[in-house]
Structure 1
Amino acid sequence: MELWIIYTKLIVVLFLASSYAHMNVENLPWIIFCLLLYVSLNIAMYILNSERLKVVVLLLSIAMIYLSFLYVHPLLILLLPINFYELASRYVKAKWILLGLGLIPVFYLTQGKYIYGLVSAFSFVLFTMTTRYSEKLIQYEDKLDKMRHDMQCLTANLNENQEFIKQSEYTHRLEERNRISQQIHDSIGHSMTGALIQMEAAKSLMGMDTGKAKELLENAIVISKKGIEDIRITLKNMKPPTEQMGVQRMKLMIEEFSVKHRIRTLFVYKGNMDVITPIQWKIIAENGTEALTNSMKYGKATEISIEIHVLNRMIKAEVKDNGIGVRKVVKGLGIIGMEERTASVNGKIIVDGTNGFSVTTLLPIG
């Protein structure tokens, strides 16, 4: 705001200097002194930090202009409007009242009243535009400060939520470990303890009653077999299905990639996922990671889709982006690595760069 007001004052000073340069005036040194004094006072006003001192300097400048108008040269009254608007705007908020007050001297001037009115209107327009721009700038700064504050609050809440999630996951793991421990103790511990007691009893009767000892050993074997079967069933129930683990790992990988690089990534899977073996899931995940990285680095893509489709005789895993693509595919280390991984299980890689860029992994079933 202050910069534009300074420009307005400078324009008026230069106009006066140009006018006096073409006039034949006797007291030119006094005129120059008044202009220099006006410039000095107004520069000092913008250097000061205190609002009271600025008002005092403004009053001194207006008083100097009035005295210069009376005793030096009437044209120096043109310096008055912009200083008057600066001072009056602190107490009068209505813009049109300011303009009316600034034009009052027109009715008392005997000469140069039209040029004074023009300068006063020009100064009012620039001052009003500058004031409105400054007010909008302050509003934007306030909004920006509020947005920064809200962002800090959101960041703090996000960090708290992340800590809560981590704590919840840790608590869930502890509860799961406790559940497994209790289940093993209840279903398997008693069986193993019973078998041990049977074997200790058989050992004691081995020399006295061979038949009874044999019976106890057979019971211990039966109990041990049952315990081993219980262990197998418990572990089988605890282990998640291969299909569930594979899909969840893919979802986690895709979500991490999408959040990290801010690229929209879609994931679709069809068919019987149970037929995909753990080694095939590993190859699909590694090829998918490599293809996503290539799309992000070279494809300039804004959207990537990943589709896993289990067909009758093969598994099709395609990573496709909407990027620039390539006319001729040059196989780098990434594509070669994908081909080698896929070939290790008798699969095949198909790369296409005609419509975006796509990498398709084909794996045999069975």
Structure 2
Amino acid sequence: MTLPLTTRAAVLTAHGAALELQDLPLPTEIAPGAALVRIACATLCGTDIEIWSGTMSFPGMLPMVLGHEMVGTIVAVGAGTHDALGRELKPGDRIGWSESTCGECAGCVVLREPVHCSRRGYGFLQRSDVPPYATAGLSDYAYVVPGAAKLLIPDGVKDAWASMAGCAAKTVLRAFDRAGGIRPGSRVAIQGSGALGIFATAVAKISGAAQVITIGAPAARLDLARRFGADDVVDIAEGGVVERVTELTAGHGADHVFDFAGAASVGPEAVGMAAVRGTVTIVGSTGPVGDPFPLSAIMGKELTVTGSLNGDIADYVRSIAFFEAFADRFPWDDLFSSPVGLAEASAKIASMDRLDEVKAVIDPRLDARVSSAEEAAA
């Protein structure tokens, strides 16, 4: 088989600017442990939007190809390529993949926590003007490096679900694990009504929570949260968030509070709405500064506060298993917008930045179908 030598990709060259469709080189040989994948689906994540806008940035990161939630079909593999569970991979297999890790640093070896690998590499953090160029989701083809944790996707898990599992879903499942799990009958408050917050709402309900309160905006997202198990919702636009949650819990507060929002106010609000001896889990606060709150409030309530950073390949495996087990429990497809081609990726990023949709879906293959249809019509 003749391998493609280039791939079309949507490249971010400046924060806040439209993505540029460029042709990027592909490797002429596939290294042992690596794979060349034809992208079937990429779902946009909040991190993609933060990088696009410049909210998340660091020197030398641009130009780059966005997209770190994706699945695709293997076109070619290097010698000895297998997935994280030891299954041999071959052309035609549908896979997703997590970030690359070194397996040698203290995070990998001592902590045994891949999320703390000192050389952890996301495909979307690869500059697009140096080899291996195209390793992220917003492209026709992606080169999956040898160190990336690959995962064979079962037939029963849809492309969009498997793509979301690669970051959003695994991040939520890790957070619930870090929080110590949900005791049946607990009251749970979810800060944030984006994809993570709505998925977390469903996870809390499936875990046996007696009451799930989702906090966020706009109203359409809160309505969606109700369809995913929220017993009550709180619109942040109306103010009085802590007071409202306290009222909804009959004065007790929430046994578990999860931050999937990242707004400056989530810290004091989380501590304020938490029940005595409750747990606060910080997931979404990626910004450098949040509103202050007294440590005496943590002491006085004897709160447990924990942080949770993304997720690793183990969380990815669990998130795929979650979608298999609970495929019919909630209307998962309602999280996703109708797929569009790569040429419309910029418009979808801008739409998500305006909170007009929860989870945009990019299928690069759609552009080829449109082109073929146009040629046939001509």
The TM-score normalised by the length of structure 1 is 0.21
Which has more helix, going by share of residues?
Answer: 1
**TM-score if structure 2 supplies the norm length?**
0.21
- More relative contact order, 1 or 2 (CA 8 Å, 6+ apart): 2
Larger-Rg structure: 1
Looking at secondary structure, tell me which structure has more strand per residue.
Answer: 2
